[in-house]
Structure formats: structure tokens, C-alpha cells
Structure 1
Amino acid sequence: MFVARRHNDGRRRSVVAAEWLSVAIVATVSAALCLIAAPVASAAPVSATKEIAVGNALWHSERIPSTGGVTLYADVLRPRNLPAGARTPVIMAIGPYFNHYAAKGQQPVLRDSIGQGLVPAGRYDDLIDGARLLERGYTMVMVDLRGFGGSSGCPDASGPGEQSDVAAAVRWAASQSWSTGKVGLYGKSYDAVTALIGAGQQVRGLSAVVAQEPVYDWYRYLYGNGVPRVNRLGTPLSFIYQSSNPGFKPTPGMDPAAYADRTFANVVNPLCQGYSVLSQLNGQKSDAFWRARNLIPRLQGSRVPLFLSQGFIDQNTSADGLQQVLSGMRGPVHAWLGMWDHVRGNDTDMTAPLNSNTPKRLSTGRAGYLDEVGRFFDQYLMGKPPAVKDPAIVIQDNTGRWRAQPVWPQDIATRRVALRSGAYTFDGRQTATKIFYQGQYYGTQIDSVAPGGTNFQVAKTTDSASNAVWTVLPVEKSAVRISGTVEVSLTSRDPDSTPVAVDVYDVDETGMGTLITQNAARLTAGVTTLELFSTDWLVAQGHRIAVRVTDSNNGRWAYDHPTGRRVVVDGGTVVLPMAAADAGTPTSGGSNSNLEGYLGSYRYPVPKQS
């Protein structure tokens, strides 16, 4: 997914002007080329039709037919030394990120038709090696989505075309002569989205899904209830670059026609990338484009076994919709939920990468992820009873401690809080988190940038804590746990659909608050409702819970031009999902660098309640 660009000194670049310039360029190019009959991207790599030994695998490529005349390219890795005619279950990853070209200095296995050195995609070598998939008796298949890598067609941001690709790929894998008919999907980020697409479709043959840090609703990834995220344009543009394989610079000796076909077809076709980008700039949630990309309704009632991992403090793919997905599944659910950013379950601070001083430290704080994934696949693809009984759900809260539960959230009650009335000025300066350093406040929340390690990124801010409506609750007489999704209802007379941000804090005895959860929306005259990101947070005895209603969360969302007008909020309610402070059963695991960086920098000085 989109990663924020940074200065060498660690500060994030201002990209708003550049992004809108990019919009203009895309729109202009698309309009100018409307009469050009530009083909969609043709299949790029031409690789092995016979199996070639690569490590512990025998590698060959396949072409999988999908809808609309699209052909998908796939790398197939079969275990070596299988008996003739042996059939295996299949673990498949489907996405836009597979790179089939040898890196500089890497020895290619063979060459394609235009001279590029080819190797099997290495995106999930950690899974193949760490979970010992080939030794376990699985075939690994990595499939390019339409318009990416070696697949033809036009990308459509998890829409109907890519959804049909997932179904076609799973059916193909289940029907091969070397397959047992059992298929598991695996992925992280975009590849986790395609895994959830499969779970929602319940494609015949799909027997298990592992999804790490997915997006549950593409609209929520780019918008907070009508308010655009900073990545609202950066993400679509990054996928244009990703689909322009093999890059914008021709390789010496490359056939010009093949280069133009592979690189520019998706960029210049006005019905392809231009349409997709412009569609994603539409902030209306009810639009058919977004409805087709909301996976939550499709996952309701799914019986496909799911193993999900989600960071509550993921600054890229947030836990927005997490509780809805978990509560709607009807098949077996396993999950790792906790205080980390956009990482794989087996990542370390080196592989994340986090640039910390402890490169081998686990990025979640808990060991054994790939072992558990292997047991999960063995159970549902091979029918093997697990040798180790893994907890259904493991949760890490803000203390860094882990616990196990059969479901999440579990046995929650609700605390309904009346919000104070008040007003603030729409000046567009507010930040959700900031620290005081060398006589100046710096905002610390930067969209898509992980907290922790040396990823300490700041931007000067002139916001004012008083430019908000604060509701600060009484001191907690004992520890309390917020577990689930906070719901907010605001009453306003604002007729202009101005943005509003709602932040919930854990306030210590000194008045310093740590951000628990947040979201944004557009105010309407009357009642505005919104759900904040799911979380699991233990508020210590002696602390307070505070709720801030204000105009913006700069760094996380990109706002309209501030009007300077006074916005009146006539109160409202917050519903806090509360679980027992000692919920669950303690289990193995510890803290991590993301969490520690978050606790140190995602803070805000809360004003004393008058």
C-alpha cells in the first residue's frame, strides 16, 4: 500500500500540491487520448513451460483465463521429488506486487522474450521457508492481478474485475490434475484484500484464508466518512506506477513495441487508470464504485476458515471495520490482534523495516506466527488435527501484554457518555497527537508512517488545544478496558458539511493524553454518526478518558480549505464498549517497537476541564 515520502531529516514532504498536479496530469492525458485505441497491458513475462528446479521447488508458469478476455500470469512452485501423478493442496497468493524480474546482481533462471532476466516471485519466500510449505506437501502459486506483472487487462482497485480474477484463479487451482482440490489463500495488505474477496465469494475449493493487515472496505481506506485521507491520491497513483511494469525506462535491447505495450498501455488508456483515479477521487460513499468494493457485507455469513492479523495502531490499513468482519463470519476464526503497525505476523524490526536498534526484535512481540499458519493450513487443507491447540484469538493491548479469548470482543458492556456542547473554529490546524520539543509543538501522526524505531516523523503545528470541544470523564477508580468499536453521535446546526474529527484519549495524572482511537466525518445539520477504529485499550486506575471534537486531524486526513467559520456542536453521545480489565487468559508474548514508539509520541496535552 501507499507509503509516505520523507525528507532525509525524517520529516514528511508536503505532497498536497504535487498530488493535485498529478490529478490534473492524469485527467488531461486521459482526455487527450480518448480517441487513441490503446490496448490494455499484454502478458509480460514469457517463462518456463516445463518445470525448472529452483531451490526445493520445481518452477513453471501458467496462464489462467479470467473474465473479459483477461489472462492471468502465475508462478507455480511444486515440491521436488514428488511421485509421478502426486496431488497436493494449493496455497495461493493473488496481488499486484509480484516481481518476476531478477534484481541487479541476481542470477536469473531464464530470460523472457525481450531479454529480461526472470526468477520466481519472491514476495512470500518467508512463508515458503518459515512454514516449510514445500516440505509439508503444498504447491505454492502466486498470481498477478489483471494489469499487473505478467497479466493482461486493466486494474480496477479490488472491483468486479479483480474479484472475478480471484474466483477464476481459485477455481483453476482446485481443478488442476496435480491439485487435491483444496486451496488456501494467503496475503498481506493488498494480497490480504484478495484473500478476503475469496472468503466473501466462498469460491468452490477455497478451504482456508490467511489475511494480514487487509482493507475491509476500499472507501474507508481512502476516506473517513467523506473526509479524504492523505493517501487518497497517493495510493491510486502508486498503483499506476506498479502496473507500468517493467518501469518507465526502457531496458537496452528491449523491443520498443513490447516495451510500449507493457509499460504504457494502462497509463494512457482513458478507460483504465484515468477512470480508476478519477473514480477514487469521488468522496460519496453511496456511489456504485465504492459499494462494489466494500467487502464487509460479502463476508457476512462466510464459512471459509479465516486466520486474520490486524494492528490496532496500523497507520496504513487501519482497524476500520474489523469488528464488523469478525462478528459476521460464520466459519472458524483465528486472529492475532494487537498494537503494531503494517507488518507481517513474522516480521522483525529489520524486515518490517522499522530502523530500530533491535533488528531481530519481533514486530508484533509474539513468536510462532508461521508455525501457527502452517498448522492452520494443515488442519483445513489436509485434514490434519493440530499437534498444538492454538488459541482462537490472541490480543495484545497497550500494556504490551497478551491474552487469549474464544472470540473478540468478548462479554462487553457499554458505557454511554454525554458529550459537552461547545464550538470551535474551522482553521484546519488541529493535530491528534503532538509533542513539545525545543520550544515548538510538533505533530507526530503522519499518514502511513509507522511509529517507533527511528521512524520518528514530525511536522510543526500551530494547533490549539482550546480549539475543540472537550469532554473529560471522572478519574477511573479502577482499571477499565475499552474493547471493540467506539460509536459517536454528534448534534450540530452546521449546514456546510464541514469536516469533524473525534479523538479519544487515555489521560494520565499529569494531564497528558495518549490517543486511543479516532476517525473523521463530515458534519451535517442534525445528527452525524460515526464509528471509530476498533481497539483494545486498558485505561489504568487513576487515569481519565477524554473525548475531543474538533475540525481536523492534520497528518491523517487531508482537509478542504479552512473557512475560519465557527462550528457549533450541540452535544452528542459516545458509546464505549467495555470489557473486563482482566478479560481472557494470559498467554505468551511481549511488547514491540511500534507500541513503544506510539506510547512515546502519539500524545496530546489535554486541557483541564472547567
Structure 2
Amino acid sequence: MLVEWDVPIEVDDGTVLRADVFRPEAEGRYPVILTYGPYAKGLSFQEGYPSAWEKMAADHPDAVAGSTNRYQNWEVVDPEKWVPDGYVCVRVDSRGAGRSPGVIDVFSPREVQDHVLCVEWAGEQEWSNGKVGLCGISYFAINQWLVASRRPAHLAAVCVWEGAADWYRDSTYHGGIRTTFWDHWYGMQVSSVQYGLGDAGPRNPNTGVNVCGDENLSEEERAANRVDLGASIREHPLDDGYHRDRSPDWDNVTVPVLSAGNWGGQGLHLRGNTHGYLRAASQEKWLEMHGDTHWSLFYADYGVSLQKRFFGHFLKNEDTGWKEQPPVQLQIRHVDSTFTLRHEEAWPIPRTRWTSLYLDAAHGSLTPEPPATPGSVGYDGMGDGVMFETPPLPADTEITGPLSAKLFVESSTADADLFLVVRVFSPDGTEVTFQGALDPNTPVAQGWLRASHRKLDDELSRPYQPYHTHDDPSPLVPGSVYELDVEILPTCLVVPEGYRIALAVRGRDYVHDGPATRLSNLRNQMTGCGPFVHDDPHNRPAEVFGGRITLHTGGDRPSRLLLPEIPR
């Protein structure tokens, strides 16, 4: 393997980005796997993300086998596993990060343009066969949707592994409620490796050079070279031009797509993969859904094999068997955290039996028929809310697909935030949670809605998947009852006989009863929702959202939960 460090890529405004290129020693033209992002290409996975590395190595030893792991980076491919198969791996430090100078403005049109130009540069090098694939996790997946929207000539395929798509709905405002994830992420993972840290930053273990450039800029100079991400998001509470500039143009996403999502990635690593699969205009597209931590399977044999079959077909014209790959590949989840591989022909699964369970306020139950007698139950608008449960299930029941709820709600104030959690309990009352993308105690499914954002897009909405415009909020009149359709993100679980399904309607984020945990790259402790919490007091002032919420059921207000039941 030949390694070229800090290769210059000059973009259209004269800025010189820096890339590391790993390529076969033999002369020839090879397909390219390219990544572009802000995590600093010279920062090793092991040093930058030690707790994530240790968990992956312990749980998936195949992920670190067969490699010296000298060139491992966070959320991108290991060149030692790709270059021997005839690929060139190109890693680019995004503008303002690592060894690339400039102003950091994540997912912005300027950054997307840089990424597009890097794709075209890679496709035109003497060692390139002209076909470039994008492959990476999270950040390196989100920006793939944006680059694909620009349709660069040399882009031949994308593998979007656990990447959000819609900047508003998937990333910054869940159901119209702001998440503070990006505020903390920016400080922990981006500004910590900003260009200009120089001698104060880490060093590349392979070359000994400064990971964050050779300039030693002051904190004031570095602050001037990065957009205040949290403030930018806070200033745009609706789905406006700021958010649309950072979201895909689905009609332009025509490149072959492998979209891989995580059942436990409810805050960031789930919705974009299923929606992206459905909405992309690509004629050749596949969906894969799995569990476990959001980085491990990407590096494990399972993920690498899947990625190589996909890229071998589209970048090398090899017979990898991909022509026979069904459109949908699902890891069906069981309550003991094991999975069963199954293929389907479409998403949602065509044979889905859409099953309504009706809320009964009088008994706190979920029933197959709406209660004949109207009822209501109240709760604190910023409290733990109320929960409705089924009786013990008479048979094993598989729930796989998107969910939704229709609720009839009134508030004593001008608004209300609804946090919906689908939960499962064993016969002894123990809640079933899972290792999610990040949080080890992730519930079965979650959904959110700010009541003033109840307006639906009639063209995009489906009964099982309401789609809100988030552009025309309408305050509530205290005491009036409103019909709200709430999107609950997709899930997959075979619920055994004797277990119970529950719907919690809350006024704040879900919290698991067990002890909190932490990852080294995250600021907040994880208590069930990982870092994807909604705790901005400016976005949720108590005088507006801390009123009394009344949930109506039965009669002419049949509140209900819609489940995607899969027949045996």
C-alpha cells in the first residue's frame, strides 16, 4: 500500500484542502472510496474515541482482526481492508478542520460544494478509474445525501450508513422540538480538532505531524473561523431556507444507494435512512436495517462484506452477487437482543397488517376496539405523563415498520410538547430495552410533536407516517381539543406471548430506570435517549409548555396507536 499524506486539493475559491490517499502499490486505475468530514484524518480512532474503540474490539473482534489498525479513523473505512482489494481510499479534512484551513460551517452549501469538488478531483487522478463511491457513518453519511443531490459526474454509488437526511426533522427539531445534541457535539468532536490548534492539538501517530495544522491560532482567531452552530439552529425554529439548504433535493438523488439504518438510532441514525430510501429518485436503491452500536457493524465482517458487494458491483463491474440482492435486508430483533436476517421486497413491508390499538383513559389500557365511553386523563405538560398498556399478548407478535399515533389533546396554555414512547414489558414487569446506536438502554420506539406544529403535508403524509410542514405554527386555544397525528419512528421487534406493549405519552424525554452511562466522545450522560435530548429552556419555556395537558379517549375522540404487525 502506498500512502500519500496531506495531498493538496485546491477548490474553486482558492482554499487548499488536505487529503490522505491510500492506494495499491501496483500501477493501474482503481475505484475510489472517499470521505470528507471534520473529525481530523490524522486523529486515530483509538486515541480520539477510546471507549467506542474498546467496546467494538470487545464485542466484535472481527472488526479489528486482519489489520494493524494503524490507519483506523472514526466512522470511515479501514484502508488496510480495502486497498488490497483494489480500491483507493481518500480521506479529506473538511474546510476549517484538521489540516484544512478555512471557516467551519457544517453541512452548508459551501461545504457541500467542497465535497463535490473533491469527488471530481478524485475521479480525474491518474490512479483513478473515474468511479468514486462515498462510504462512511453518521457525518460521512449525512453529507452523502447532499453531495448526491449535486450529481457530480464521477460519483458512481453511495453507502449511507446511519446518516440523517432532513436537517430539520431528522437532526435539529424532532417533531418541532429542538434537540441540543449538535451544541454539545460541536464542542466535543469538531472544534476540538479545528485547524489552527497546531502544537496544542494531538499528533498523527503515523507521521508525527500536528493533526490540526502547523499554525498556532489563538482561541479568538479559531472562534472567528467557525460558525456558531447552536446559535444558528436556535435562530431557525421552523423548516426554512437554512434547513432546506442543508437537506437533500430528493429528485436529484439518482445515484445507486445502499441506505443502512439502525433500529436503535432514534435521535439521528434511523429516520434519514428509511425516508431517504423511500424518497430518493434512484432506480437502483437498497435498504438495510440492523441493531447494535452505530459504529461496530460498519467495521465488522458483516458490514464490510455488504459494502464490498455493493461497491464491487457499481465501481468495479464485478459479479459480487449484488444483482440478486433483494431491495430490503432486515435484521429482525428479538427481546434477548439477538437478530434474524430476513429479506423483503419493499418498505414498508407489503404484507403489513396495520393494527390500531385504542387508548382507554378510564383503565390506562390499549384495546383493539375504541372505548364506547369517552374518557380523559391529565398530566403535567413537562412531566412523566401517562401510560397505556395492552393485556399480555396471546401469541408472539412481530412489529416491524413505521408507527404513528392519533391523539386528541387539550392544553391549559398555548402549546404542548408530546414525547411518545412505545415500550415493551416482560411478564415480570421488566422493561425491554436495547443497545441503541449510542445509548445501551434505548426503548422500542420514540416519536415527538409540538402541538402548534400539527399542520400536515397532505401529499407526503400517510396514515402510518404523518409528515408535518413545520412552517406554519398555530398556537392552541386553552381548553380547546385538537386532533394531532404524531410520527413514531420505525422499529422492529418480535414481542413474545405473555409480554405487554405500552404507549407512554410524556411531557419530557424518556428516562430509563437503570444507571446512567457515558461515552468518551459525548458530554452528557446517557439515560435512555443518548445525547439526543430536548432540554433547551429557551425552546421550552415553562410558562408555555408547563401547563396541564388533557388527553381524551373514546367516543368521538378515539385516540389510538397504529402498529405495523407482520403476519407469521
Same fold (TM over 0.5): yes
Letter in 2 for 1:531: E
- 2:417: which partner in 1? 499
- 1:552: which partner in 2? 508
Please give the secondary structure, in 2, of the residue aligned with 1:325: helix
Letter in 2 for 1:419: L
- 1:43: which partner in 2? none
Q: 1:551 to 1:375 in 2, by over 3 A?
A: same
Summarize the alignment of residues 158-173 of structure 1 with structure 2, pairs less than 5 Å apart: 158-173=107-122
Distance 2:306 2:46 in 1: 34
- The alpha carbon displacement at 1:205 in A equals 1.4
- 2:184: which partner in 1? 234
Alignment equivalent of 1:156, drawn from 81, 85, 105: 105
Conservation of the 8 A alpha-carbon contact between 1:486 and 1:533: yes
- 2:53: which partner in 1? none
Summarize the alignment of residues 295-374 of structure 1 with structure 2, pairs less than 5 Å apart: 295=248, 298-300=249-251, 302-314=253-265, 317-329=268-280, 330-347=282-299, 367-374=301-308
State whether structure 2 residue 75 is matched by structure 1 residue 136: no
- 2:518: which partner in 1? none
Letter in 2 for 1:306: V
Please give the secondary structure, in 2, of the residue aligned with 1:477: coil
Letter in 2 for 1:160: P
Distance 1:541 1:236 in 2: 44
Distance 2:315 2:344 in 1: 24
Summarize the alignment of residues 463-482 of structure 1 with structure 2, pairs less than 5 Å apart: 467-468=385-386, 470-482=387-399
Give TM-score, length-normalised by structure 1: 0.66
Which stretch of structure 1 is more off in the superposition, 203-212 or 120-129? 120-129
Letter in 1 for 2:505: V
Distance 1:577 1:204 in 2: 42
Give TM-score, length-normalised by structure 2: 0.70
Q: 1:189 to 1:406 in 2, by over 3 A?
A: same
- The alpha carbon displacement at 1:190 in A equals 0.8
- 1:444: which partner in 2? none
- 2:239: which partner in 1? 286
- The alpha carbon displacement at 1:160 in A equals 0.9
Letter in 2 for 1:504: V
Distance 2:45 2:449 in 1: 44
Q: For 1:10-58, what per-residue CA distance to the aligned partner results, in whole angstroms no more than 9, with x for missing partners?
A: xxxxxxxxxxxxxxxxxxxxxxxxxxxxxxxxxxxxxxxxxxxxxx224
- 2:566: which partner in 1? 580
- 1:375: which partner in 2? 309
Distance 1:125 1:548 in 2: 37
Q: 1:532 to 1:429 in 2, by over 3 A?
A: same
State whether structure 2 residue 492 is matched by structure 1 residue 536: yes
Distance 1:475 1:62 in 2: 62
Distance 1:502 1:538 in 2: 20
Distance 1:580 1:214 in 2: 26
- 1:273: which partner in 2? 227
- The alpha carbon displacement at 1:265 in A equals 3.4
Conservation of the 8 A alpha-carbon contact between 1:227 and 1:521: yes
Alignment equivalent of 1:98, drawn from 20, 28, 40: 40
Distance 1:232 1:58 in 2: 33
Distance 1:61 1:211 in 2: 26
- 2:174: which partner in 1? 224
- The alpha carbon displacement at 1:545 in A equals 2.5
Q: 1:69 to 1:278 in 2, by over 3 A?
A: farther
- 2:345: which partner in 1? 406
- The alpha carbon displacement at 1:511 in A equals 4.3
- The alpha carbon displacement at 1:279 in A equals 0.8
Please give the secondary structure, in 1, of the residue aligned with 2:200: coil
- The alpha carbon displacement at 1:346 in A equals 4.3
Q: 1:125 to 1:429 in 2, by over 3 A?
A: closer
CA RMSD, 1 decimal:
3.3
Distance 2:294 2:284 in 1: 24
Please give the secondary structure, in 2, of the residue aligned with 1:518: strand
Q: For 1:278-327, what per-residue CA distance to the aligned partner results, in whole angstroms no more than 9, with x for missing partners?
A: 112236132322222233xx235633222232211136633124322122
Distance 1:535 1:289 in 2: 30
- The alpha carbon displacement at 1:392 in A equals 4.3
Distance 1:250 1:200 in 2: 35
Conservation of the 8 A alpha-carbon contact between 2:285 and 2:327: yes
Distance 1:121 1:67 in 2: 30
Letter in 1 for 2:42: H
Distance 2:246 2:164 in 1: 10
Which stretch of structure 1 is more off in the superposition, 147-156 or 239-248? 239-248
Distance 1:424 1:580 in 2: 33
Q: Percent identity?
A: 21
Distance 1:200 1:397 in 2: 31
- 1:193: which partner in 2? 142
Q: For 1:389-446, what per-residue CA distance to the aligned partner results, in whole angstroms no more than 9, with x for missing partners?
A: 555433223312222223333212322343345343336453xxxxxxxxxxxxxxxx
Conservation of the 8 A alpha-carbon contact between 1:91 and 1:139: yes
Distance 1:184 1:262 in 2: 37
Conservation of the 8 A alpha-carbon contact between 1:166 and 1:197: no
Summarize the alignment of residues 240-259 of structure 1 with structure 2, pairs less than 5 Å apart: 240-246=191-197, 249=200, 259=215
Distance 1:489 1:283 in 2: 27
- The alpha carbon displacement at 1:497 in A equals 2.0
Distance 1:338 1:506 in 2: 19
Conservation of the 8 A alpha-carbon contact between 1:223 and 1:232: no
Conservation of the 8 A alpha-carbon contact between 2:348 and 2:402: no
Conservation of the 8 A alpha-carbon contact between 1:188 and 1:344: no
Distance 2:391 2:201 in 1: 65
Distance 1:558 1:531 in 2: 17
Q: 1:251 to 1:340 in 2, by over 3 A?
A: closer
- 1:88: which partner in 2? 30
Q: 1:519 to 1:101 in 2, by over 3 A?
A: closer
Q: 1:67 to 1:536 in 2, by over 3 A?
A: farther
- 2:358: which partner in 1? 418
Q: 1:191 to 1:492 in 2, by over 3 A?
A: same
Distance 1:385 1:208 in 2: 16
Please give the secondary structure, in 2, of the residue aligned with 1:485: strand
- The alpha carbon displacement at 1:136 in A equals 2.4
Please give the secondary structure, in 1, of the residue aligned with 2:347: coil
Q: 1:291 to 1:251 in 2, by over 3 A?
A: closer
- The alpha carbon displacement at 1:500 in A equals 1.6
Letter in 1 for 2:319: P
- The alpha carbon displacement at 1:221 in A equals 2.2
Conservation of the 8 A alpha-carbon contact between 1:182 and 1:207: yes
- 1:570: which partner in 2? 552
Provide structure 1 residue ranges, at least 5 long, that are not aligned to the other structure: 1-55, 106-118, 349-366, 431-466, 583-610
Q: 1:534 to 1:123 in 2, by over 3 A?
A: same
Distance 1:321 1:472 in 2: 29
Distance 2:24 2:299 in 1: 25
Distance 2:195 2:380 in 1: 40
- The alpha carbon displacement at 1:496 in A equals 2.4
Provide structure 2 residue ranges, at least 5 long, that are not aligned to the other structure: 48-69, 204-208, 361-374, 433-442, 453-475, 477-481, 511-526
Please give the secondary structure, in 1, of the residue aligned with 2:193: helix
Distance 2:76 2:152 in 1: 26
Conservation of the 8 A alpha-carbon contact between 2:137 and 2:161: yes
Q: 1:153 to 1:123 in 2, by over 3 A?
A: same
Which aligned segments of 4 or more residues in structure 1 are displaced greater than 6 angstroms? 101-105, 250-254
